[in-house]
């Protein structure tokens, strides 16, 4: 692992995402100070880091990595003292984020990057009341952050290009695979790609075309295997043989467009939610959720390590 360019990170809000970020930064040898006003937040955070640490050990620890470098402060101002980078993970409410970033902006020196893990809110809206809005950026991880390398870095209307570059470099230095979203858009990038798949998956269940379990199998043992290695465009290119993606689009462009036009547009009705929940419950019969989670982590670790051993600097 490369040494991170920064050494002290503040984690603001330590729920599922915040705790996972804390574990990830600790595993990369950083000093981490966390803050959260919730009762018993510190105990839950430390328990989460302890639970995740064996997984991080299997992935490989950086020099100086230790859970002992985790500090907790109930006070926001104390938590941000000396921080070189701030990763915020609070509730997904715009009014909350605006006020929190206003407060953090007033505390942290202007050169400190303030990054939000928000999964859907815009950076432009979040930075509205910040005096030093140029240093506010989206740093949206994929869950769980201590395992999944992707981070979406997206600036707002007032974010400087230099901050985008610094954030991208920092995330890369701690083992992340940052991508830069050139424009703000609802749901960012990866969540929109997921949503497109979810929409058709829900539609197929609603129409009785396939069961929940069949659809999970179709993805997990079909295109999902290829997507775990390469993205959709490179996979499409490889499927064209010597002619590559040009050959594919010349021959399948029309049918693909016909499929697009035939995709469903389901509504998230109570009846559909109940149908999906029933399907998931049926799929889980006789299986322990903890065992499924452990299997997922084992396979993810193996895949991440395998991709690293192949020198997968690019997808």
136-146 pLDDT per residue, tens:
999 999 999 99
Phi and psi at residue 215, to the nearest 5°: -70, -40
Read off the pLDDT of each residue in 267-281 and give the average, rounded to a whole number: 97
**Helix or strand run (H / E) with residue 31:** strand 31-35
The answer, yes or no, to whether residue 313 has pLDDT greater than 60, is no
Tokens of 146: 């201590």
The residue whose two tokens read 């499927």 is 239
The answer, yes or no, to whether residue 114 has pLDDT greater than 50, is yes
How many H-runs (helices) and E-runs (strands) does the chain carry? 13, 8
Query: How many whole angstroms from its chain centre is CA 215?
Result: 23
Tens digit of pLDDT for each residue in 162-206? 999 999 999 999 999 999 999 999 999 999 999 999 999 999 999
Domains of the chain in sequence order:
8-180 (3.40.50.720), 190-309 (1.10.1040.10)
Pairing of strands 31-35, 85-88: unpaired
Question: In whole angstroms, what is the distance from residue 88 CA to residue 10 CA?
Answer: 8
The answer, yes or no, to whether residue 315 has pLDDT greater than 60, is no
The residue whose two tokens read 């197929």 is 204
Residue 180, helix vs strand vs coil:
strand
Q: State how far the alpha carbon of 299 is from the alpha carbons of 248, 293, 310, in Å.
A: 31, 10, 16
Instruction: Grade residue 5 by pLDDT with cuts at 50, 70 and 90.
Output: confident
| Maximum C-alpha span of the chain | 61
Instruction: Name which of 52-66, 106-120, 301-315 the model is least confident about.
Output: 301-315
Instruction: Grade residue 309 by pLDDT with cuts at 50, 70 and 90.
Output: confident
- Is 13 within 8 Å of 36 (Cβ atoms)? yes
Q: State how far the alpha carbon of 102 is from the alpha carbons of 78, 106, 264, in Å.
A: 16, 6, 42
Instruction: Name which of 42-56, 103-117, 260-274, 286-300 the model is least confident about.
Output: 286-300
Residue ranges of alpha helices (H) inside 175-285 are: 190-206, 212-220, 223-227, 232-238, 244-262, 270-284
Pairing of strands 70-72, 136-141: unpaired
């Amino acid at each position: 692992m490369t040494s991170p360019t920064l050494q002290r990170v503040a984690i603001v809000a330590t729920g599922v995402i915040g705790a996972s970020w804390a574990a990830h930064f600790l595993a990369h040898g950083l000093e981490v100070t966390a803050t959260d006003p919730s009762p018993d937040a510190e105990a839950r955070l430390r328990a989460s880091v302890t639970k995740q640490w064996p997984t991080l050990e299997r992935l490989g620890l950086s020099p100086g990595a230790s859970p002992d470098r985790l500090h907790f402060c109930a006070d926001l101002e104390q938590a941000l003292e000396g921080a070189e980078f701030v990763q915020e993970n609070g509730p997904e409410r715009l009014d909350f984020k605006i006020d929190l970033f206003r407060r953090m902006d007033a505390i942290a020196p202007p050169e400190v990057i303030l990054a939000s893990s928000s999964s859907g809110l815009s950076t432009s809206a979040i930075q509205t009341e910040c005096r030093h809005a140029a240093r506010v950026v989206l740093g949206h991880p994929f869950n769980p952050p201590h395992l999944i390398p992707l981070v979406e870095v997206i600036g707002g209307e007032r974010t400087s290009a230099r901050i985008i570059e610094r954030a991208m470099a920092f995330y890369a230095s701690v083992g992340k695979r940052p991508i830069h979203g050139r424009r703000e858009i609802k749901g960012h990038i990866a969540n929109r790609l997921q949503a497109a798949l979810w929409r058709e998956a829900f539609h197929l269940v609603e129409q009785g075309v396939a069961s929940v379990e069949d659809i999970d199998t179709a993805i997990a043992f079909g295109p999902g295997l290829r997507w775990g290695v390469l993205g959709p465009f490179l996979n499409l290119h490889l499927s064209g043989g010597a002619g590559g993606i040009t050959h594919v689009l010349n021959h399948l462009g029309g049918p693909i467009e016909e499929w697009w036009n035939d995709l469903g547009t389901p509504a998230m009705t109570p009846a559909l939610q109940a149908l999906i929940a029933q399907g998931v419950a049926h799929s889980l019969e006789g299986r322990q959720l903890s065992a499924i989670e452990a299997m997922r982590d084992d396979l993810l670790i193996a895949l991440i390590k395998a991709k690293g051993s192949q020198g997968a600097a690019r997808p």
